Structure 1
Amino acid sequence: MLDALTLTLGAAALALAAWCGFAAYRDQSTKDWHFIGMAVVTVLALAQLVVGIVFLVRGEQPDDGKVIFVSYLLGALAAIPAAGLLSLTERTKWGSVTVAAAAVVLTVLEVRLTDIWGGFSA
């Protein structure tokens, strides 16, 4: 798959996790700036979904199967928006904790997506 996009998305997700984790440490809920960060990460996940589908249409095959690959791509796309919605209902530091946790989960999903595809290309 596209290694640069996967690494960028993983790094952006870790940055969002640190940012929201710091807000939770300071006993703050998610603010508008956090939602802008969530939007950036979500756009990167959407780009990854599109690139992944294009690769599949071109005939490239993930090592562990198409269904699992597409399922992980959809899960990666849904992780941050779902946490963002939950953080809107919990306007305490726990909303920030929820987004930070989802960003860590997204990073783990990125590692797993790389593994499903067959690792980084040489």
Structure 2
Amino acid sequence: MLVALTVTVSVAALVLAAWCGFAAYRDQPTKDWHFIGMAVVTVLALVQLVVGIVQLARGEEPAESSVIFVSYLIGAFAAVPAAGFLSLSERTRWGSVTVSAGAVLLAVLEVRLYDIWGG
């Protein structure tokens, strides 16, 4: 898997986590700008999902099971959108905390994806 893409997704997720964490610190709910940031991170995760599946289709194999690898790819893709939808139902600072936690979860999943691929 592409290491540069994994690092890019991780850094973008951590920037989003810090941004939403700062909003929570200031007692603000998620705003439109936060949702644009979530969209950018989600598109990066989608690109990673497509690249991972294409590499599997080309015959490249992860160090661990392919099923586990695809499961982590799907989970990484769904982490930030799920947190974004949850933040819509909680229009207080806790919505920002939820998005921040989802973005940190995505960064952790990226580390695990790197390990599963054989990094």
TM range (shorter): over 0.9
- Structure-to-structure mapping, 1:1-122, within 5 angstroms: 1-119=1-119
In 2: Cα distance, 1:32 partner to 1:38 partner: 10
Letter in 2 for 1:15: V
Letter in 1 for 2:110: E
In 1: Cα distance, 2:10 partner to 2:35 partner: 17
Structure 2 unaligned segments of length 5 or more: list them: none
In 2: Cα distance, 1:65 partner to 1:51 partner: 17
Q: How many residues align?
A: 119
In 2: Cα distance, 1:76 partner to 1:83 partner: 12
Offset of 1:26 from its aligned partner? 0.1
Letter in 1 for 2:83: A
The CA RMSD over aligned residues, in Å, is 0.3
Identity %: 78
Runs of 4+ with deviation above 2 angstroms: none
Letter in 1 for 2:28: Q
User: For 1:78-99, what per-residue CA distance to the aligned partner results, in whole angstroms no more than 9, with x for missing partners?
Assistant: 0000000000000000000000
Offset of 1:43 from its aligned partner? 0.1
Q: TM-score, normalised by structure 2?
A: 0.99
Offset of 1:3 from its aligned partner? 0.7
